[in-house]
Amino acid sequence: MGGSQTNLSEINFPIKDLSRRKQQTTLTIIGLTVATAATIFLVLFGSNLGFEIGFITQGGKLTSGFYNIFSQFILIVSILNVVTGLIITSFLVQLTMSTRIRDIGVMKASGCLSRPVFAYFFTELSLMVLVSTTAGIIIGISLYYCSTIFLSIAGFSISQNLDITAILVVSLVTIVFSHIFGALPIKKASKAKPIEAMSPIYEEETNATVGHKVPSKLGFTFKMAYRNLLRRQSTTIHAIICFTAVLTLITVTITGGLIANNTTSTYVERAIGRNVVLVGHPKITERYVNLLSQFFEYTPNEQFNYNDSSFAISGQLVSDLGTIQGVTIVDPRLVLETSVRESLGVVLDPVEKTEAILIGSNRTDTALVVGVQPENIINDWLFFGEKLGVNETNVAMIGDTLAVNMFEDATNQRIKIFDYSESPYDIVGVCVDTLNNGKVVYMPLETMHKDTGQSGYNLVFVQIDSSNNPQVFDQIEKMVNDENLNAIELNLVLDKHINFLNSIWSLIMFLPLFTLVTAVVALFSYITLSISGQQHEFGIMRAVGAKQKTIIKIIFCQVTLIILVSGMLGIFAGSSITFELLIPDPVISQSTISSAYTLLIAIVGLLCVFSLYPAVKAANKTIIDAIS
């Protein structure tokens, strides 16, 4: 009974002490709660968003190439979310416990031993961390459910399944990191001499930087702010690291999201072509448009006979289309659908690097096979490897989904297309193509004629000059109607592709909103806790005649310096990650870059403005309250 009373009192004293320091305790718990809630939310949202995109791909939409771009983006952002959340949490607990160093010195001066002092303040730390983590889990899950409901109303479908393992891992890591970083200043101060722990020099670690000179031309306010940051070297460095991580994440999400959106839209436009008219029999043109539309709306396809003689297009019509003024390219094609087979390839053993090994397992699939004239192709795909050469035979270029699903290393393997062909075709490249969701094979038209025994074309693609689009299309339509053929502008289908990608990216861009909220809370917590450590100094300045405006300017300068340094580092790091890791062959337009960096500069400016509130609140305290 006596032991339980002792344990209870050991907890009651820290609770009362935390209650006595109501403002600092509340602010720390709110900051840790928001950081934990944001991390939980972003992990759940990011993982389920990734599963949703994966489900879309498995359901027949998107291609493997586009899925990989989305997945890589979400993975990198999710990792940065977790790292940033841990840095913010660690920073807040370390900053909070650093403000207790003088209290530790007082307790040691009154006769307390190091171990009980450490246990006492470690208990305070544990109480704040456990309360914040519990509240953060509840709020994070609640926010996740609310956001999925809101997004479902807006037309987006996100699973509400909770990843319990992810929640437990994030919570455990947060608790461990918080205790480690929070215990460091406690342990250090508990081992110090009482007079050292009670000294502001010890708390602020100023020994190494007291003698730094500040240029006199920068003004009194800047000099005071600069010196305060140098005197509080440890806190300043941790603050810069914290806000650099936050702004890196925001930069990757915003800049990377805008550039990735622009890039993927360009990939689609390069694959389909802008201002392209599809010419053919109404049945086969409808079939082709349906195969293009599989990218954004999956519909099952029935068996279709591409060899129907009524689909044939005469060479004379192809020539006549080329004579229309405003037509830039005429691209006749022969399109078939057949089964394809993976052929074994030979590569150098990646482990031993001394002998060759076979790769592949003779997998089969059904694909669209398109015979093209390499010199007249209207498409400008993003491709890996090489394009089809003008004088090449027995070669093929395959779509990204076919390459991922059916081959181990496509460009080092071959593909068997027609059972009656003499040998497999060398795969020279892989293209990111939306046609038939990337399950497509392109080969030279002459080779296709030779190996299939067929001749002619069943589809023609006509690229027209955008400046005379309506007039040229009318002439094409009139010419092909005389042949009982159909003409379809593919711009409408292309725009649907782009709108579909925009909807996915708009969903992903939902991620930085919560990161920004976390950044604001962390900034507010830092300023308030930092001011509380300097409140006595500001009170003395007020007592000797300094105005409230001067105190506000000093605090504002301190925060602005930290935010500007963190902003430069964070934007640089985030831009490097975006351009080097996120997207292959990124399309970077001046308008996209201008929009992204204007938004980032605005965010940095807003963070600086938010610092005015705690600065004004601190400056409005009476001199007696500030000094006491």
Q: What string of DSSP letters covers 152-171?
A: HHTT--------HHHHHHHH
Domain ranges within the chain, ordered by starting residue:
1-199, 205-271+519-628, 274-489
pLDDT at 207: 44
Task: Write the pLDDT tens digit of every residue in 419-469.
Answer: 656 688 999 999 989 898 889 999 999 989 888 888 889 999 999 987 767
Question: How far is it, in rounded angstroms, from Cα 167 to Cα 169?
Answer: 6
pLDDT score recorded for residue 43:
78
DSSP letter for each residue of 310-349:
GG-B-HHHHHHHHTSTTEEEEEEEEEEEEEEEEE-EEEE-
Question: Are 429 and 459 in contact, with CB atoms under 8 Å apart?
Answer: no
Per-residue model confidence (pLDDT) at position 7: 46
Of 403, 466, 397, 462, nearest in space to 425 by CA: 397
Grouping H, G, I as helix, E, B as strand and the rest as coil, residue 518 is helix
Other CB atoms within 10 Å distance of the CB of residue 217: 7
- The token duo for 506 is 């708009």
459 SS3 class:
strand
Beta bridge partners of 371: 334, 443
CA distance 494 to 474: 20
The alpha carbon of residue 447 and the mean position of all alpha carbons in its chain are separated, in whole angstroms, by 44
Supply φ then ψ for residue 328, to 5 degrees: -100, -40
pLDDT for the residue 157: 59
**489 has which bridge partners?**
277
d(CA 36, CA 170): 8
Q: 22 vs 30, 129, 132, 533, 623, CA distance in Å?
A: 12, 16, 15, 15, 21
Q: Under DSSP, is residue 398 helix (H, G, I), strand (E, B) or coil?
A: strand
Tell me what pLDDT residue 470 has: 81
Backbone phi, psi, residue 361, to 5°: -145, 30
The three state secondary structure string of 8-53 is HHHHHHHHHHHHHCHHHHHHHHHHHHHHHHHHHHHHHHHHHHHHHH
CB burial readout 459-492, b (16+ within 10 A) else e: bbbbbbeeeeeeebbebbbebbeeeebbbbbbbe
> Does an H or E element contain 63, and which?
none
Please identify every stretch of the chain with a pLDDT value under 50, giving residue numbers as ranges.
1-8, 57, 206-211, 216
For residue 44, give the nearest of 36, 338, 33 by alpha carbon.
36
- As a whole number of angstroms, the distance between CA 433 and CA 436 comes to 8
In 3D, which of 411, 439, 498 has the Cα closest to residue 64?
439
pTM, rounded to two decimals = 0.73
How much of the chain is helix, strand and coil, in % rounded to 5? 65, 10, 20
DSSP 525-558: HHHHHHHHHHHHHHHHHHHTT--HHHHHHHHHHH
